[in-house]
A and B are shown apart, each in its own frame.
Chain A
Amino acid sequence: MLYVIKRILATIPVMVVVALFVFFIIRLGPGDPASVIAGDYATAEDIEEIRIKLGLADPIHVQMGKWMLQLASGDLGHSYHSNLQVTTLISQRLEPTLLLAASTIILTVLVAIPLGTLAAYKAGSWIDKFVMVFSVAGFSIPVFVLGYILVYFFAMELRWLPVQGYKSPFEYGLLPFLRHITMPAVTLSVIYIALISRMTRASVVEVLNEDYVRTARAKGQSEFKILLRHALRNAAVPIVTVLGISVALMIGGVVVTESVYNVPGLGRLVLDAVLARDYGVIQGLILFFSFIYIFINLLIDLSYTFIDPRIRY
């Protein structure tokens, strides 16, 4: 219990560092947000007015104090263009991204873990070599190139799936949702399947050499049960760790995938904010995604005790 509290408290300094980072990037960078917002034809007075409105004219420590207080109350700032709260914008765009991420994780776990286990079980066989080649290739193809290759074959040539767009399952039902989410989810999951299957293979290979696996075989347990109960359960910790680390990768992937398939989610919100140079939204989103990353890694650290009862704090 003490560990849990300690671990939760340990996220605070990380969040503070993230907040400071974002604060200084926006304010101390070579560009001036106020003059960018004001546009090319603005006069010096216009720029000064915007600077005062945004609080950029205050001394830097006052700005920092205000910013920290604002963040502590859960306020991620507002858009410099539409004046909407960033939290409002996020809640409008959350659903597609959440469902895309969930589909990707489900697909990854369903494909990568059996594939990696099989590769470890038949180490040195053709399936093992295939997994190794696939994982190197999966790391090397840019997400959007893969996306366009899929669009070319499955949407333009074969016409099996729609080219782009998103249909909410709550509005249009499950089938249209699945038809639209399949390609984005496959696109986004390839890199994770590469990563997780390789990790699964490595940790299962190690576990299969353990004495308890030999004991299980000796007492006549079926190979399937050995893999599932003994090998995979003991190999779970490194696999789950990699899943956590790759959340950061996924956030970048979401931005790209959503713009390839025109999914109106958080990734598109990032891109729209960048194109509109809306620094209020950009900094709010960076903070939001960083906090999500910190939170997920907290959950994963805490889950170790459940996955592996040998780990006690």
Chain B
Amino acid sequence: MTETTTIHVKEDPSLLKIIISNKSLTAGLVILAILALIALIGPFFTGDPIAINPMKRIKPPGPEMWFGTDPLGRDIFSRAISGGRISLTVGVAVAGVSVFIGLFLGLLAGYIRLLDAIIMRVMDGLMAIPGILLAIALISLSGATILTVIVAITIPEIPRVVRLVRSVVLTVREEAYVEAAIAAGTKLPSIMIRHILPNTIAPLIVQATYVCASAMLTESILGFLGAGIPPEIPSWGNIMSEGRTYFQLCPWIIFFPGVALGITVMSVNIVGDGLRDTLDPRIAKKM
């Protein structure tokens, strides 16, 4: 009796176990979870991020005001916490949307010859336009809101996703099991969904983390240049943008949101690297 049970124990280790075995990936995920939790519930506990308090102007960081205040007396700590919510939202939204659109276009390009030429020429052109300039142009034309910022950051990120998906499709479509499916008379949509799509998931998850990291950096740069999310909604970028004028007087306005952004982007990058090594060592070469 015991013999039959021991045979069945030999399974693949669960995904959770694989993730825990990678120390830096675990660390990255834990930091990211804490940051996400702070962004999610933090704003309910801190003060009003846009409340002006002239009595508390330009206070350096201290026990009362952890991150100090700006020349309008606004609390940088509250602002940084609620800015984190915006930055993370932008990062996740851009990653989700660009992966979704990129997956769709990449599948089409990889499988339909005629569309391949058209889609890839358009992607080559899009890739040649510096992403930040394209985003700046899109935002200044359509007005700065959170939505337009997300759209403007997403568009330059799409070509990289399309290229990745297309390269996976081109490799997979030559595999014997796909040929077997075609020979068996399986219809195209079902080949795409059952055989091709699952192969793109691992590389796409990894790519999504990199897109998320780069989107948060782009958001901050746009905000910093005054071309991003409007100042009524504090984001890490526009808080730092306001700190520029007063940098010699109160460097903490730039310092704290900057460090917060750096830590967030770094933990996202570490998670990306960890997932890349864990999910499938083969995809490391395609990145």
Contact = CB atoms under 8 A, between A and B. Distances in A.
A18 interface: yes
Interface residues of B, number: 45
B122 interface: yes
Contact of B121 (A17, A25, A248): A17
Contacts of A30: 141-143
Given A18-B129, A25-B137, A256 B221 contact: yes
A290 B136 CA distance: 14
B128 A151 contact: no
Contacts of B220: 142, 144
Contacts of A259: 225
A256 B122 CA distance: 27
Interface string A268-297: 001100110101001101100110011000
Contacts of A289: 129-130, 133
Describe A's contact surface by its main secondary structure: helix
Contact of A25 (B124, B132, B141, B269): B141
Contacts of B225: 255-256, 259, 271, 274
Given A13-B121, A143-B221, A255-B225, A286 B269 contact: no
A136 interface: yes
B269 A136 contact: yes
Interface in B122-160: 122, 124-134, 136-138, 140-143
A144 B224 contact: yes
A149 B265 CA distance: 18
Interface in B69-107: none
B217 interface: yes
B261 A145 contact: yes
B32 interface: no
Contacts of A151: 247
B158 to A, nearest CB: 12
A286 B134 contact: yes
A240 to B, nearest CB: 18
A252 B273 CA distance: 24
Interface string B251-266: 1001100110111011
B142 A282 contact: no
B141 A31 contact: yes
B138 A274 contact: no
A7 to B, nearest CB: 13
A1 to B, nearest CB: 24
11 contacts: A17-B122, A29-B141, A136-B269, A140-B265, A140-B266, A141-B262, A142-B265, A143-B221, A248-B127, A252-B133, A293-B129
Given A17-B126, A145-B262, 14 more contacts: A14-B121, A25-B134, A30-B141, A30-B143, A136-B270, A142-B262, A148-B247, A163-B248, A251-B132, A252-B132, A255-B225, A259-B225, A277-B140, A290-B130
Interface of A: 13-18, 20-22, 25-26, 29-31, 33, 136-137, 139-145, 148-149, 151-152, 156, 163, 248, 251-252, 255-256, 259, 270-271, 274-275, 277, 279, 282-283, 285-286, 289-290, 293-294
- The 6 A-B residue pairs with the shortest CB-CB distance in the complex, in nearest-first order: A17-B125, A145-B258, A252-B132, A140-B266, A29-B141, A31-B141
